Amino acid sequence: MLDWTDRHCRVFHRLLSRHARLYTEMVTTGALLHGDVPRHLDFDEAEHPVALQLGGSEAADLAACAKLAQRWGYDEVNLNCGCPSERVQRGAFGACLMAEPALVRDGVAAMRDAVGDALPVTVKHRIGIDRIDSYDFVRDFVGIVGEGGCTVFIVHARNAWLQGLSPKDNREIPPLHYDVVHRLKRDFPSFTIVLNGGVRDDATLAAQLAAVDGVMIGREAYHRPWWLAQWDGVYFGDSAAAPTRDAVELAMIGYLQRAVARGAPPQAVLRHLLNLWKGEPGARLWRQVLSDPKWRGLEPAALFEQARRARLGG
């Protein structure tokens, strides 16, 4: 979810669900150890629970970044072993790490040694790489990485094809095999197994939650954010009233004002909100106002009022 689940997106999604765990974009260890740490790690307190997703392979670097995650107040640190992009492969991390489970195990162990029990260390991975379709491959990966102290595995139920497919195609062309993830749960009953990939509706979500411990949803949550608004009541047993779109819009006006005061460009926030009214009358007109450069000079409250009037036909 690079360039998608930034801090502004996460604040928006937290307004929709109080309980769903949010994940950052993947941040490389190099960016944290040699770059602008506050730019990468600063977040709003409202985002909790929030996990920092790391990309890297060197145990010492991962340990140092886990300490940073702890210092900045994250609720989890997650090692990405699933991203198939060529840029990530050149850095020798992401999905290609599935071919080196002992290296991942040692990285996990180093992170756990660095933060102790204060911060869970989790791993996100695929069910295989390239044309390897043997269940033994992913079973052994989980078993070996588990030796490093990882007990939470987020499993994208597709192979990652490291050659010949773009990251977009890697999310769509390799077939989904939910049964492989279910089998991992049966073989590792003490581990928390979370399924990822292709979940786009309530029926699929409910079916998968009956077989595994959790479900991670990425792009569908971004493109259809209002789906999140029902999750607290349906999946977390929260009897509090679900938010309304109007209330979320009002809250985001206040957040946009604060973000702009800190120096953020308005579009850095607005681009994440364009699907808030998706499926409702006037949604296209509302979206057009928020994305039209001619309105960007308006103060946030005035901008949203213009969008509201367009949506309602006023």
What are the catalytic residues?
83
CA distances from 210 to 99, 202, 235, 246 (A): 30, 12, 12, 33
Is 85 within 8 Å of 167 (Cβ atoms)? yes
What are 195's two structure tokens? 């399924």
What are 142's two structure tokens? 């989980």
Residues 263, 267, 75, 110, CA torsion sign: negative
What is the radius of gyration, based on Cα positions, of the chain? 20
CA–CA separation, 59 and 185 (whole Å): 27
CA–CA separation, 21 and 218 (whole Å): 12
Q: Return the beta strands (E) in the chain as ranges.
A: 22-28, 50-55, 76-81, 121-129, 152-160, 192-196, 214-216
